[in-house]
Amino acid sequence: MNSVIDITDLSVKEIDSLINTAMDMHQNPEKYSSVCKGKKLAAMFFEPSTRTRLSFEAAMLELGGSVLSVHSSATSSASKGESINDTSKVVSCYADIMAMRHPLEGAPAVAAVSASIPVINAGDGGHCHPTQTLTDLCTIKSEKGVINGLTVGFCGDLKYGRTVHSLISALARYENVRVVLISPDELKIPEYVKEGPLKNMEFSETDNLEKALPELDVLYMTRVQQERFADREQYERLRDVYILDTEKLKSAKEDMIILHPLPRVNEISVGVDADKRACYFKQVMWGKYMRMALIMLLLSGEHKGADLLEGASVTQKNCPNSRCISHTEQELPVYSKNGRCVWCDEELN
C-alpha cells in the first residue's frame, strides 16, 4: 500500500528521513519548487479544518503542483449519499494523490482500499491523525535535537484527541520515551492505545497537571473535543479542567517545550505565547514542510507499506464503535485483525 492511514504505515527510518527532508525544504525551498510539477492533490475535507487543509494545499503549491479541494460534506456528493468507495474511485480519475479528513473513523482507510492513488489520512473522527504526528515529531527533533529518551506529557482530552493516539503510536517505536498521561477519568486514553503502543513503553496516568509538570521534557496540550461528545453537559463540565498559564509554568523545566496541535480554545492562556517554551506556532510551520516531504515521498513511488487488509479476515460481527465507517458505508464488510476492527481499531467482542 502506498497510502498513509496510520503512522505505523511509515517505518521509523522513513519518518526520520522525512524529518531530514522537511528541514532541508525549510532551508532550501527553491530546490523543491517544481518536484511535483503537473501533479494534482485532492484535498477532501468532510470535517472542519484550517491548518491541516491549508498546509496540505500550501505544501502541494510549494512543490509546484496544483490542488483540487472539497471543503465540506454539504458541498460534495457525500450530501447525496455517495459512498467513500465511489468518491475515492472518482477522485482517482482527477488527481494523483488525495488527503482525506472525515468525521467517521476508518473512512480514509476505506478510501485507500478503493482508490488507485495514494491516500493520506488527514484525521478520521477521534481515531488518528498521522500527518499531525509527523509535524509533532519534526518540531520535537528541531527543538530538542532528539526524540529518544524524552519524557512526554499528554494533557487534556486523551480519549477523543486523535493527535494524541497517533503521536503515542509513533513515540512507542523510538527508544526510552516515557509518557505521562494527564486527564480526568472521563477523558482517559482508549483501551486500544493502552493495549497497543503503550504496551511497549513506560507510562503513568494522573489527573494532576501541576504534579506532573516538573518531570516533563515535552508537554503536549490538547483541546477538549466538543464535537465528539454525545453528552453536552459532560463537555461543559470537562472543558475547563486544564488551563496552562504562566504561574503553573514556573514549576516546569527551563528547556521543556509546549506543543499543541491547535486550535486552542482556552487550555493555554494567551500569556504563555510569549514564553520561549511555547512552540505551537513553530509546530504549525513544520506542518507544511512535513506534508511537502510526505507528498514527495508518496508520489515518488518509493514508499511500499503493508497492505491494510493483509492478515485480516471478514467477520459477521458488527463493530461496536458507533463512529466507525462500517455502519454507514454501503456493503462494507467488517474485517477483523488481531480481534480488532481493521477500520477503526475497536475491539470486536
Q: Which residues bind ligand NCD (CB under 6 A)?
A: 51-52, 123, 129, 132, 162-163, 223, 261-263
Residues 328 and 110: beta-carbon distance below 8 Å: no
Residues 182 and 215: beta-carbon distance below 8 Å: no
Residues 280 and 262: beta-carbon distance below 8 Å: yes
Shortest Cβ distance from residue 165 to ligand NCD (Å)? 10
Q: Closer to ligand NCD at the Cβ: 334 or 344? A: 344
Q: Annotated catalytic, 80?
A: yes
Backbone torsion region of residue 237, taken as left when φ is above 0, otherwise alpha when ψ lies between -120 and 50, otherwise beta: alpha
Q: Annotated catalytic, 52?
A: yes
Q: 472542519: which residue's cell?
A: 48
Amino acid at 284: V
Q: Closer to ligand NCD at the Cβ: 94 or 281? A: 281
Shortest Cβ distance from residue 162 to ligand NCD (Å)? 5
Residue in 53, 101, 102, 291 annotated catalytic = 101
Q: Annotated catalytic, 129?
A: yes
What cell numbers appear for 124 in the block? 478520521
Q: Closer to ligand NCD at the Cβ: 157 or 329? A: 157
Shortest Cβ distance from residue 132 to ligand NCD (Å)? 5
Compute the distance between CA of residue 23 and CA of residue 115 in angstroms, rounded to an integer.
31
Shortest Cβ distance from residue 93 to ligand NCD (Å)? 28
Residues 149 and 177: beta-carbon distance below 8 Å: yes
What cell numbers appear for 181 in the block? 498521561
Decide: residue 250, CB within 10 A, 0-12 exposed, 13-18 middle, 19+ buried: exposed
Q: Closer to ligand NCD at the Cβ: 52 or 142? A: 52
Shortest Cβ distance from residue 125 to ligand NCD (Å)? 9
Residue in 8, 21, 52, 139 annotated catalytic = 52
Compute the distance between CA of residue 172 and CA of residue 179 in angstroms, rounded to an integer.
9
DSSP code for 347: B
What cell numbers appear for 332 in the block? 462494507
Residue nearest to ligand NCD (CB): 261
Residue in 26, 39, 40, 51 annotated catalytic = 51
Q: Closer to ligand NCD at the Cβ: 21 or 163? A: 163
Residue in 129, 159, 288, 323 annotated catalytic = 129
Annotated catalytic sites, by residue? 51-52, 80, 101, 129
